[in-house]
C-alpha cells in the first residue's frame, strides 16, 4: 500500500513538472534567484566595482505576483550574489525600471558628498491598475532603498518600464518608457530625476505585437561605417507575436538629439529581431559602466510570457541569459546589431578539447565535451550535406538539436522532442535566416543544463531557447544528412561552481 501511494505521488509530481527539482539540471553559470519567481532584469547599473542586477521578483511564490525588485551583485558579470529584496511591493507593485548613479547629485538625494543611486520604476497601483513612475534612492550601494514616491502620473494603466540615462550633450536626464497598448515609446526629460517633461513619441513602427514593453535607448559606434560614425539604438520588447511566437524583441537604428528619436533614412517597416529564439525578453542594458569600458552590455530574461508561469522548474522559476556585449555594424543589409557573450565568461572555462577536420555523415560523432554546462566554438563547412545537426541527447533519449540547412539558408534550434511535455506549443523549431552561400558558418554555443544560447557568425544572429529535458547526463554529437560536412570544434566545460544559489544574510 505504501509503495503504491508513493508511486502515485511520484507520478503526480512528475506530471506537474517536478522533474526539475533535481539539482543536477539547475543552470550553473546563468543567474537564477535561489527560489521563487523572476521576470525582467531591472535597474542595471555599475557603481564602485559592482554590477547591479535588480529583477522583477515575487518574494512569496514561484508564479508572477507581488512584484518587487529582487537584487543581485557581481564584480565580474559572471559570479552573482543574491541580496535581500531591494524594493518591496507596497500599495503599488514595483514594476520594471532602471537605475542610475546621480554623479552630480541633481536629485539632492546624496549624502556626505557621495552620489546616490536612484531607481526609476513603474508603480502599478494594486487597486486601480494605474501605472505611474516612481523614484527610490540608496546611499549604501543599493543595500537599502528609500521610496521618494511618485514623480510622473498621466492617468494611464499602460504607461511603464522607464529606462533613464544621463544625456551628456543636453546635460539632462532622459527617460524612455512605453505606452504599451498603443505601441509607442515615449521620451521625457528631467534636470533632477523628479520633474519630468514630455519630449516626444515614437511608433507604432516595425512589429506591433500585443504590446510594447521594456524599451532601451543608447548610442553605439558603427563598425564598418563612416569614420567616427555613431548611431542610436532603440530596442523594444513585444509582449506577444514576436518572431518565434510569444514574446520577443525588435530594434530600430537612428539618431537621437536629446528630444526625438528618428530612424535612419531608408530603415523601412520590416522588423529587425533581437533574437530568433523563444526565450529572450525584456532585454535591457547597463548604465554607468566605467569610462575605461566602452562596451554596451545587456541581459535578457530567458523566458516567454506564453509559458513563463508553467515552466517545470523548482524551487525557482526564471532565468537570465548571460550578459552580452552588443555592437552595431553597417552591413550590406544596412545597420545591424550583433551580440556576443561577455568575455568575462572565459574565466569559467575548464581545459579545452579541440578536434580539427571532423568528417560528419549519417552516423553521429560524439563531441568531446560533457554536454551539461559548456561552451562550443564550431567552424562548419557544410560540404555536400543537406542538413547538419549538433544534437544534445539526455539519458532518456530526449533530444535538442542545433541544425544548419544550407539549401534554405537557415540555422535553427529544434526543441520539438527536447523533454517531457508541459505546455502546448512549447515544442517547436526556431529559425534564424543566415546566408549559407559560402558553405561556411561559425556557431558559438553556450549550453547550461536547460538553456542554449546560440551565437551565429559572430553573433550577427542569435537564437536563445530553453529546453526542459529528461534525466541523465547530456551528450553532444554531430551528424550530417544527404552528404558529408566537416567541422572544427573547440569545447570547454564551464563552471563548475554554482554561482546562482548564494544568498547573503
Q: Is 282 in the site for ligand FRU (CB under 6 A)?
A: yes
Q: CA 315, 321, 327: angle at the middle one, nearest 5?
A: 170
> Least distance from C-beta 40 to ligand FRU, angstroms?
5
Q: By C-beta, is 282 or 443 nearer to ligand FRU?
A: 282
Q: By C-beta, is 308 or 445 nearer to ligand FRU?
A: 308
Burial status of residue 343 (CB atoms within 10 A of its CB: 0-12, 13-18, 19 or more): exposed
Q: Which three cell numbers stand for residue 21?
A: 527539482
Q: Are 176 and 217 in contact (CB under 8 A)?
A: yes
Residue selected from 25, 32, 67, 389 as contacting ligand FRU according to rule CB under 6 A: 67
Residue selected from 62, 89, 102, 213 as contacting ligand FRU according to rule CB under 6 A: 213
> Alpha-carbon distance 494 to 345, whole Å?
8
92, 151, 197, 349 from 132: Cα distances, Å: 10, 8, 14, 44
**Active-site pick, 40, 102, 374, 448:** 40
> Least distance from C-beta 204 to ligand FRU, angstroms?
17
b/e burial code for range 371-396 (CB count within 10 A of at least 16 → b): bbbbbbbbebbbbebebbbbbbbbee
Q: By C-beta, is 157 or 477 nearer to ligand FRU?
A: 157
Q: By C-beta, is 111 or 201 nearer to ligand FRU?
A: 201
Q: Is 283 in the site for ligand FRU (CB under 6 A)?
A: no
Q: By C-beta, is 213 or 216 nearer to ligand FRU?
A: 213
Residue selected from 39, 58, 285, 287 as contacting ligand FRU according to rule CB under 6 A: 39
> Least distance from C-beta 160 to ligand FRU, angstroms?
5
Residue selected from 19, 28, 36, 56 as contacting ligand FRU according to rule CB under 6 A: 56
Q: By C-beta, is 249 or 406 nearer to ligand FRU?
A: 249
Residue selected from 89, 102, 161, 279 as contacting ligand FRU according to rule CB under 6 A: 161
> Least distance from C-beta 65 to ligand FRU, angstroms?
9
Site for ligand FRU in 89-128 (CB under 6 A): 95-96, 122
Helix (H) or strand (E) holding 14: helix 2-15
Taking CB under 6 A as the rule, which mask of x and - marks residues 384-413 in contact with ligand FRU? Answer: ------------------------------
Residue 40 among the catalytic residues: yes
The dihedral sign for the CA sequence 260, 263, 268, 270: negative
Smallest Cα–Cα separation from 295: which of 376, 226, 223, 348? 223
Q: CA 411, 412, 416: angle at the middle one, nearest 5?
A: 160
Q: What are phi and psi of 406, to 5 degrees?
A: -60, -35
Residue selected from 92, 151, 214, 491 as contacting ligand FRU according to rule CB under 6 A: 214
b/e burial code for range 234-262 (CB count within 10 A of at least 16 → b): bbbbbbeebbbebbbbbbbbbebeeeebe
Residue selected from 40, 275, 414, 465 as contacting ligand FRU according to rule CB under 6 A: 40
* Chain positions contacting ligand FRU, by CB under 6 A: 39-40, 56, 67, 95-96, 122, 160-161, 213-214, 282
Which residues are part of the catalytic machinery?
40
Amino acid at each position: 500500500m505504501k509503495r503504491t501511494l508513493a508511486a502515485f505521488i511520484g507520478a503526480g509530481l512528475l506530471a506537474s513538472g517536478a522533474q526539475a527539482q533535481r539539482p543536477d539540471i539547475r543552470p550553473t553559470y546563468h543567474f537564477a534567484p535561489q527560489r521563487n519567481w523572476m521576470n525582467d532584469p531591472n535597474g542595471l547599473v555599475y557603481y564602485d566595482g559592482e554590477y547591479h542586477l535588480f529583477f522583477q521578483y515575487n518574494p512569496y511564490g514561484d508564479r508572477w505576483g507581488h512584484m518587487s525588485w529582487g537584487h543581485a551583485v557581481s564584480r565580474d558579470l559572471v559570479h552573482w550574489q543574491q541580496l535581500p529584496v531591494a524594493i518591496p511591493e507596497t500599495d503599488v507593485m514595483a514594476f520594471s525600471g532602471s537605475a542610475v548613479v546621480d554623479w552630480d547629485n541633481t536629485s539632492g538625494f546624496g549624502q556626505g558628498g557621495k552620489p546616490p543611486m536612484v531607481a526609476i520604476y513603474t508603480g502599478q497601483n494594486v487597486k486601480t491598475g494605474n501605472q505611474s513612475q516612481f523614484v527610490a534612492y540608496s546611499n549604501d550601494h543599493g543595500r537599502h532603498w528609500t521610496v521618494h514616491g511618485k514623480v510622473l502620473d498621466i492617468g494611464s494603466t499602460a504607461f511603464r518600464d522607464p529606462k533613464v540615462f544621463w544625456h551628456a550633450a543636453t546635460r539632462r536626464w532622459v527617460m524612455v518608457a512605453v505606452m504599451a497598448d498603443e505601441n509607442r515609446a515615449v521620451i521625457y526629460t528631467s534636470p533632477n530625476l523628479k520633474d519630468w517633461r514630455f519630449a516626444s513619441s515614437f511608433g507604432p513602427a516595425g512589429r506591433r505585437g500585443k504590446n510594447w514593453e521594456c524599451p532601451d535607448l543608447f548610442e553605439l559606434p558603427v563598425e564598418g561605417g563612416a569614420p567616427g560614425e555613431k548611431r542610436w539604438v532603440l530596442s523594444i520588447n513585444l509582449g506577444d507575436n514576436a518572431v518565434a511566437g510569444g514574446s520577443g524583441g525588435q530594434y530600430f537604428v537612428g539618431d537621437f538629439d536629446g528630444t526625438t528619436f528618428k530612424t535612419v533614412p531608408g530603415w523601412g517597416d520590416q522588423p529587425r529581431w533581437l533574437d530568433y529564439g523563444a526565450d529572450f525578453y525584456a532585454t535591457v542594458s547597463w548604465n554607468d559602466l566605467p569610462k575605461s569600458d566602452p562596451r554596451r552590455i545587456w541581459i535578457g530574461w530567458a523566458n516567454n510570457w506564453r509559458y513563463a508561469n508553467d515552466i517545470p522548474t523548482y524551487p525557482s522559476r526564471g532565468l537570465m541569459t548571460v550578459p552580452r556585449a552588443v555592437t552595431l555594424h553597417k552591413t550590406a543589409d544596412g545597420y545591424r546589431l550583433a551580440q556576443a557573450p561577455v568575455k568575462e565568461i572565459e574565466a569559467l572555462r575548464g581545459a579545452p578539447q579541440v578536434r580539427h577536420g571532423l568528417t560528419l555523415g549519417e552516423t553521429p560523432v560524439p563531441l568531446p565535451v560533457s554536454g551539461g554546462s559548456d561552451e562550443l566554438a564550431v567552424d562548419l563547412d557544410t560540404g555536400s550535406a543537406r542538413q547538419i545537426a549538433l544534437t544534445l541527447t539526455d539519458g532518456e533519449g530526449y533530444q535538442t538539436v542545433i541544425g544548419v540547412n544550407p539549401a534554405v539558408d537557415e540555422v535553427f534550434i529544434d526543441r520539438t522532442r527536447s523533454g517531457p511535455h508541459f505546455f502546448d506549443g512549447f515544442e517547436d523549431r526556431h529559425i534564424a535566416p543566415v546566408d549559407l552561400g559560402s558553405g561556411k558558418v561559425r556557431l558559438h554555443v553556450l549550453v547550461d543544463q536547460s538553456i542554449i544560447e546560440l551565437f551565429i557568425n559572430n553573433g550577427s544572429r542569435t537564437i536563445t531557447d530553453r529546453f526542459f529535458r529528461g534525466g541523465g547526463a547530456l551528450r553532444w554529437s554531430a551528424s550530417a544528412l544527404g552528404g558529408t560536412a566537416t567541422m572544427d570544434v573547440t569545447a570547454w566545460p564551464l563552471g563548475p561552481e554554482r554561482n546562482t544559489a548564494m544568498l547573503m544574510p
